[in-house]
Amino acid sequence: MVARGATLDALHAHGLQLVEKDATHAVKVAASANPVDLGVQDLVIVAVKALAMEAVAAQIAPLLDAHTTVLTAMNGVPWWFCDGLGEPFAGKRLTSVDPHGAIAQAIPAAQTVGCVVHASCSVQSLGVIRHGQGMGLIVGESNGKPGKRAEDLVSLFAHAASMRSCRRRFSAMSGSSCGAT
């Protein structure tokens, strides 16, 4: 996880925390202010406000190689929006979103999967996220066509959700075991 300043300190001290109703879940994360420290990743999730994307683009290169998938879970119209529309929009850049082309140059649309988040969450404190409601993700290829990467991500997230549900059931039932299907 790329973070800076006091947020980075909080992640090192307490991990990333999620508060849901009356439960707090914490997980240790590899975190650094310098993406070089984290190296190339299989999946990079960019979850920032659209206005922060140019700054993210300037630092993202050490996390990417030709096989990295970049999942954008952000508000606003993405820089690759025109790529899936065909003529006459193909190859056009939304200058209102990526005025200098820096985002498109740093994060190839061909490696990008979009995500619309249907959840209400807020930052409770540094490194602590409070979940309000909603658990939905709409995931799709940047070109608007069905694709294996998007399908694989949906499977990955579904598996993670089933394991989370499984852990909850396991902790509530003494002497039981639970396996993911």
At the fourth CATH level, the homologous superfamily of domain 5-172 is NAD(P)-binding Rossmann-like Domain (3.40.50.720)
CB neighbour burial string for 17-38, b if at least 16 within 10 angstroms, e if fewer: bebeeeeeeeeeeebeeebeee
Domain ranges of the chain: 5-172
pLDDT at 179: 39
Could you tell me which residues come within 8 angstroms of residue 107 by beta carbon, excluding any fewer than 6 positions away?
Answer: 46, 57, 60, 64, 70, 79
Q: Do residues 159 and 180 make contact, with C-beta atoms less than 8 angstroms apart?
A: yes
Sheet of 69-73, strand order: 23-27, 16-20, 128-141, 112-125, 69-73, 43-46
pLDDT digits (tens, 9 = 90+) for 88-112: 887 787 888 898 899 999 998 889 9
pTM: 0.84
β-bridge partners, 125: 128
Per-residue pLDDT band at 174 (split at 50, 70, 90): very low
Per-residue pLDDT band at 85 (split at 50, 70, 90): confident
In angstroms, the CA 110 to CA 87 distance is: 17
